Amino acid sequence: VCKEIALKLANLFNGDLVMTNNSIFEKCLDLDAFGRNWGWDRSGLMKHWSDLVIKQSNKQQIFVKQYSGNKVWKESESGKKIKSLSNKEKVEKEENTFFISTKNHHRVAWHPSTLWVGIGCERNTSAEFIEDCLNKLLSKYELSSSSIAGLATVDIKKDEKALIDISNSKNWPIKFFNNEELQKVDVPNPSKIVFKEIGTFSVAEAASLLACGNEGGHLLIEKNIFKHKDPSGRNLGAVTIAIAESKQQFAPERGFV
């Protein structure tokens, strides 16, 4: 019945019939849905994803460029039908290609949660200001907020309302680390001022790296300092943000995978 209705609609609108269950019968990768099983978020126009599915159903070669996230899916029978491009290879057919990446500029992409946002802030800095600064940083470096795994900071910030509010509204977990843990991390921009105030040379950079877990990661964006002042120059707060990329992707319901 469903197939008959689909055929009628395709004829009515002069379109193509795409049997999406070819992923079952022909053991093809469910391109526009498989990433959810890994806790990934999808971006790109639905039309572009549909076009990709149509090309696959028409036996066209589908390509993938994966920059981040778990690669185990490639070992499946359906995954082996997708041709992987190395980071150095040029994308010849963008309309036949999907990406797995932390970047926000791809035509169609899946976004693994591999980015940890390290934050240090003055007491009572507003959540709105912190979010605005983070968004500016993501935009500058073309990073997708869908790849954010969570926040990280020093444990004395467990009661910082702005961080709690952001965590709740975005559904991002917060990882807290004490001074001893933070102090063990080598960072490119240690601060004597921060050490004098809370006993560690780094919060944002060190916390973001620690949050990457046992497999580790690398500092993607060094700390950026933003100061909030009113028109008269009165201080309204400040925030320091750094972003690290973990070797492992993170999903709240699964942990590191």
The residue ranges of every structural domain in the chain are: 2-111, 115-256
CA distances from 71 to 7, 153, 189 (A): 36, 29, 33
- Look at residue 114 and tell me whether its pLDDT is greater than 50: yes
- Look at residue 257 and tell me whether its pLDDT is greater than 70: no
Question: Measured between alpha carbons, how far is 19 from 10 in angstroms, rounded to an integer?
Answer: 12
Q: Does domain 115-256 have CATH number 3.40.718.10?
A: no
- Look at residue 99 and tell me whether its pLDDT is greater than 90: yes
Phi then psi for 51, rounded to 5 degrees? Answer: -60, -40
Question: Measured between alpha carbons, how far is 208 from 227 in angstroms, rounded to an integer?
Answer: 20
Least trusted range by pLDDT, from 108-112, 158-162, 231-235, 236-240? 231-235
pLDDT band at 81 (very low <50, low <70, confident <90, very high): very high
- Look at residue 232 and tell me whether its pLDDT is greater than 60: yes
CA distances from 247 to 31, 186, 256 (A): 23, 18, 10
> Tens of pLDDT along 31-77?
999 999 888 999 999 999 999 999 999 999 999 999 999 999 999 99
> Tens of pLDDT along 146-204?
999 999 999 999 999 999 999 999 999 999 999 999 999 999 999 999 999 999 999 99
- pLDDT recorded at residue 28: 86
DSSP assignment, residue 252? T
Q: Are 203 and 118 in contact (CB under 8 A)?
A: yes
Q: Are 139 and 130 in contact (CB under 8 A)?
A: no
- Look at residue 131 and tell me whether its pLDDT is greater than 50: yes
- pLDDT recorded at residue 24: 45
Question: Measured between alpha carbons, how far is 225 from 159 in angstroms, rounded to an integer?
Answer: 21
Q: Tell me the one-letter amino acid at 32.
A: D
- pLDDT recorded at residue 87: 87
Q: Tell me the one-letter amino acid at 235.
A: N
Q: Are 182 and 203 in contact (CB under 8 A)?
A: yes
Question: Measured between alpha carbons, how far is 154 from 190 in angstroms, rounded to an integer?
Answer: 15
Q: The pTM is what?
A: 0.85
